[in-house]
Amino acid sequence: MDRVQRDARRTGFTQASTREIIFRTQRLRYDAREVSYSFPRPIAQADEVAAFDSGEPSLDDYLRRKALANHIEGGSRCFVTTIGRRVVGYYCLAAGSVQHQDAPGRVRRNMPRPVPVILLSRLAVDREERGNGLGSHLLRDAITRSAQAADTIGVRAILVHALHSDAASFYRHFDFMPSPTDDLHLTLLIKDARALLGG
């Protein structure tokens, strides 16, 4: 069993015949009762976001005030994981681009100016759920959706703008490469994303 397969099993993902990564409903102990995380899905009007607290005010405020409206209007797509209706984690995807001088060599090679990317604009987990692997689950789901989108539209990589060095370290663990001009801007080639997912 290789590293990707071991990690997939550990984090609750399994490789399906279609090479999609399946987010299994994960059971855990929470406040002395058994609960389950939902499969990541598009945000909905009925989702409870008021109590969400990631410890990063900008990420919390976006979820409470803008995520649903931007999702509906098409500015970005927001996907949430819930316990019941309470959102405990989310991420957002949008179309984007990166200038050649800001992209690692592997990303900009043979690409137009600017390089087309999918922007992973936000990813956050409620502080009460930290340590359960939920952030990794959400990132893998975001990578999976991005790789699937790249089958239909031209896109070179996934781009993230990390808030700080700790967040950047999280993404580097999943093979994201820092920009030559900003260590907090990181990219993951689509072909590397597929390899990470076992495709």
Cα–Cα nearest to 93, from 71, 75, 110, 77? 77
State the pLDDT at residue 34. Answer: 54
Q: What is the pTM of this model?
A: 0.84
Q: What does pLDDT average to over the chain?
A: 87
Question: Where are the chain's structural domains?
Answer: 3-196
State the pLDDT at residue 19. Answer: 32
Q: Tell me, yes or no, if 90 is annotated catalytic.
A: no
pLDDT reading at 170 higher than 60: yes
pLDDT reading at 166 higher than 60: yes
State pLDDT tens for residues 73-106. Answer: 999 999 999 999 999 999 999 999 999 999 999 9
Q: Is the CB of residue 160 less than 8 Å from the CB of residue 118?
A: no
What does the DSSP assignment read for the chain?
--HHHHHHHHHTEEE-TTSPEEEPPPEEEETTEEEEPPPPEE--TT-B-TT---S-HHHHHHHHHTHHHHHHHTS-EEEEEEETTEEEEEEEEEEEEE-GGGS-HHHHTT--SSEEEEEEEEEEE-GGGTTSSHHHHHHHHHHHHHHHHTTTS---EEEEE-SSHHHHHHHHTTT-EE-SS-TTEEEEEHHHHHHHTT-
Q: Which fold has domain 3-196?
A: Aminopeptidase (3.40.630)
Active-site annotation holder among 37, 62, 91, 171? 171
State pLDDT tens for residues 144-158. Answer: 999 999 999 999 999
State the pLDDT at residue 184. Answer: 98
State the pLDDT at residue 11. Answer: 36
